[in-house]
Amino acid sequence: MNPHPTDFNRVMDLEQHGPDTWVGLSPQYRWGRIYGGQVVAQALWAALQTVDEEFETHSLHAYFIRGGTLTEPVRYEVDRLRNGRSFCTRAVVARQSGGAILHLSCSFQKAEEDAEVQTARMPLAPNPEDARPKPDDWPWIMERRPLDSYPGAGQSMGWVKIIDPMPDDPRLHIAGLAFTSDTVQFTAARSIHPLQVPQEQYNDKFMGASLDHAMWFHRPIRADEWHLYQWDCHGLTGARGMTVGNLFSADGTHVASIAQEVLLRERRAV
């Protein structure tokens, strides 16, 4: 295995290590620890290896337990909780030598023909081609184009996509959405904090992390095409911010709903 993959398809190239166990590697992220969306995506992909292809991912729920180190692989242990006729359920624990770094539960459903109704509406937003790229931290794998958010707004939006073309496997594109999902939401929480600081001072003033994460997948999408995340922060308490959002394809199709609680802890002098 390449010790540090540099594109999404290689990130998802997990190596099987015994029954229902896979190992994945991480790129060299500049901030020094594994990106949370990668661990969610790799855990989901490991679970998908144990599920018949007629089952489609419809939801996942994850807890980020501790930050992952870039200096060793991540081991994904899958537990086949249930195999039903319509639904099946898996649990995945992601481990490194220091212990578990993520616990993920995910559910899969056979496709069913029934009522098809969309009530969520895509917000007004500039086209991704007209939005400014974020230049600093994603020169490969994923491109983000966050849109302006203002103090007190409690909202954030941004266009995101996997950079390299992906195979047509729809299950891999769901994993691609999981990869891109741990982004953009922090701005919604930061915007309502009483302490407002410039972006370049944020790490000096705050400790931030993703705490838990949930996604519900409604309709197919290609992760290597632009999709819009829309986030709202429902409040701050106990150094935690509750963010909920919708995910839209560029044509306005509501493809997923998402929720994440973030840590937004002010650094204080001891």
pLDDT digits (tens, 9 = 90+) for 212-266: 999 999 999 999 999 999 999 999 999 999 999 999 999 999 999 999 999 999 8
pLDDT digits (tens, 9 = 90+) for 64-101: 999 999 999 999 999 999 999 999 999 999 999 999 99
CB proximity list for 191: less than 8 A, separation 6 or greater: 149, 150, 151, 152, 153, 154, 155, 156, 233
CB proximity list for 211: less than 8 A, separation 6 or greater: 63, 64, 240, 260, 261, 262, 263
CA distance 103 to 66: 10
105 is catalytic: no
CA distance 49 to 64: 22
> Which one of 38, 155, 230, 260 is the catalytic residue?
260
The alpha carbon dihedral of 165, 223, 25, 134 has a sign of positive
Specify the CATH superfamily of domain 127-270.
Hotdog Thioesterase (3.10.129.10)
191 is catalytic: no
1-111: CATH topology is Thiol Ester Dehydrase; Chain A (3.10.129)
Relative orientation angle of helices 170-180 and 36-48, to the nearest 10 degrees: 160
Kindly report, as residue ranges, where domains of CATH 3.10.129.10 are found in the chain: 1-111, 127-270
pLDDT reading at 169 higher than 80:
yes
Taking a C-beta distance cutoff of 8 angstroms, is the pair 8, 164 a contact? yes
> Which one of 105, 155, 185, 210 is the catalytic residue?
210
182 is catalytic: yes
> Which one of 182, 185, 230, 249 is the catalytic residue?
182
Task: Find where tokens 């020169």 sit.
Answer: 139
Q: What is the DSSP letter of 60?
A: E
Position 131 confidence tier, pLDDT thresholds 50, 70, 90 = confident
Provide the pLDDT for residue 203.
Answer: 79
pLDDT digits (tens, 9 = 90+) for 27-54: 988 888 999 999 999 999 999 999 999 9
Position 186 confidence tier, pLDDT thresholds 50, 70, 90 = confident
Q: What is the DSSP letter of 203?
A: H
Averaged pLDDT for residues 3-14 = 90
Provide the pLDDT for residue 43.
Answer: 98
